[in-house]
Structure 1
Amino acid sequence: MIVRSRSRDSVRGLTLIELLVAMAVGLIVVAAAVSALTVARRGFTTVDAASQLRDNGRFAADMIQRIGVQTGYRDVFFAATLRQATATDPAPSIMGFDNAKVNLTNPLTTSTTRPGTEAGTGSDVLILRYQSAQAHTMVAGSTDADKTMIDCAGNAQATVADINTAAARDTLLASIFSVGLSQGEPSLLCTYYDTATSSWLSSPIVQGVENFQVLYGVDGVTAGTAPAANAPSPNVPNAYLRADQITVTGNSAATNANWRRVRSVRIGMVLRSAKGAAQDSQSQTFYPFGPTKSSANGALGSAFASNNDVGTVFQPTPDGRLRQTLTFTIHLRNDQGL
Structure 2
Amino acid sequence: MSRLSTLYRMRGLTLIELMIAMLIGTILILGIVQVFASSRAAYQLSEGLARVQENGRFAMDYLQRDIRMAGHFGCVNDQAMMRQNPPALSTTFAAGAHPALNFGVSIQGYEAAGTGPGSNDVSLSATDAADFAPALPAEFSAQMADAVAGSDVIVLRYLAPEGVPVTSTTGTSAAPVFHFDSSRWSVLQSGVANPGVFGVGDCMGAAVFQAQATGAAAGTVTLGAPPNNTVALSKVFTPGQAVLYRAENAIYYVATNATGGRSLYRLRFLFAPNAANPVVDKEELVEGVESMQLLFGQDRELNANNPPTGYIDRQYTAAVIETNSPTAIENAWRRVGAVQVGLVMASPDRAAADQASAANKLNALGVTFAAPADRRFRSVYQSTIALRNRLYGN
Asked if 1 retains the 8 angstrom alpha-carbon contact of 2:356 and 2:372, the reply is: no
Instruction: Look up the match of 1:266.
Output: 340
Q: Is 1:130 matched up with 2:185?
A: no
* Unaligned residue ranges in structure 1 (runs of 5+): 222-226, 290-304, 306-311
Counterpart of 1:147, as a letter, is V
Instruction: Look up the match of 1:287.
Output: 363
Alpha-carbon distance in 2 for matches of 1:157, 1:94: 24
Q: How many pairs align?
A: 298
Counterpart of 2:372, as a letter, is T
| Shift of residue 122, structure 1, vs aligned partner | 1.9
CA shift in 2, pair 1:264/1:135, >3 Å: same
> What SS does the aligned partner of 1:62 have?
helix
The aligned runs of 1:320-331 (5 Å cut-off) are: 320-331=375-386
Counterpart of 1:199, as a letter, is V
TM-score by length of 2: 0.65
| Shift of residue 5, structure 1, vs aligned partner | 8.3
| Shift of residue 61, structure 1, vs aligned partner | 0.8
Asked if 2 retains the 8 angstrom alpha-carbon contact of 1:78 and 1:169, the reply is: no
Instruction: Look up the match of 2:388.
Output: 333
Instruction: Look up the match of 1:191.
Output: 267
Which is further off, 212-221 or 140-149? 140-149
Q: Is 1:142 matched up with 2:222?
A: no
Asked if 2 retains the 8 angstrom alpha-carbon contact of 1:96 and 1:127, the reply is: yes
Alpha-carbon distance in 2 for matches of 1:15, 1:161: 91
Counterpart of 1:193, as a letter, is F
Instruction: Look up the match of 1:300.
Output: none
> What SS does the aligned partner of 1:334 have?
coil
Instruction: Look up the match of 2:198.
Output: 161
Alpha-carbon distance in 2 for matches of 1:104, 1:244: 14
Asked if 2 retains the 8 angstrom alpha-carbon contact of 1:180 and 1:186, the reply is: yes
| Shift of residue 242, structure 1, vs aligned partner | 0.7
Instruction: Look up the match of 2:46.
Output: 47
* Unaligned residue ranges in structure 2 (runs of 5+): 96-102, 113-130, 170-177, 210-246
Asked if 2 retains the 8 angstrom alpha-carbon contact of 1:175 and 1:192, the reply is: yes
Q: Is 1:230 matched up with 2:305?
A: yes
- Larger strand fraction of residues: 2
CA shift in 2, pair 1:22/1:281, >3 Å: farther
| Shift of residue 269, structure 1, vs aligned partner | 0.9
> What SS does the aligned partner of 1:247 have?
helix
Q: Which digits, 9 at most, give the CA deviation of each residue in 1:202-259, with x for residues without a partner?
A: 22111121111010000136xxxxx33533412221100111111158956x100010
- Percent identity, aligned pairs only, is 27
CA shift in 2, pair 1:122/1:9, >3 Å: closer
Alpha-carbon distance in 1 for matches of 2:314, 2:342: 16
Alpha-carbon distance in 1 for matches of 2:313, 2:290: 29
Root-mean-square deviation (CA, aligned residues, Å) is: 3.7
TM-score by length of 1: 0.75
Q: Which digits, 9 at most, give the CA deviation of each residue in 1:8-52, with x for residues without a partner?
A: 644431111101110111111111111211111111011001100
Counterpart of 1:106, as a letter, is E
Counterpart of 1:51, as a letter, is A
Q: Which digits, 9 at most, give the CA deviation of each residue in 1:166-202, with x for residues without a partner?
A: xx71343111111111121111111112457933232
Alpha-carbon distance in 1 for matches of 2:303, 2:68: 27
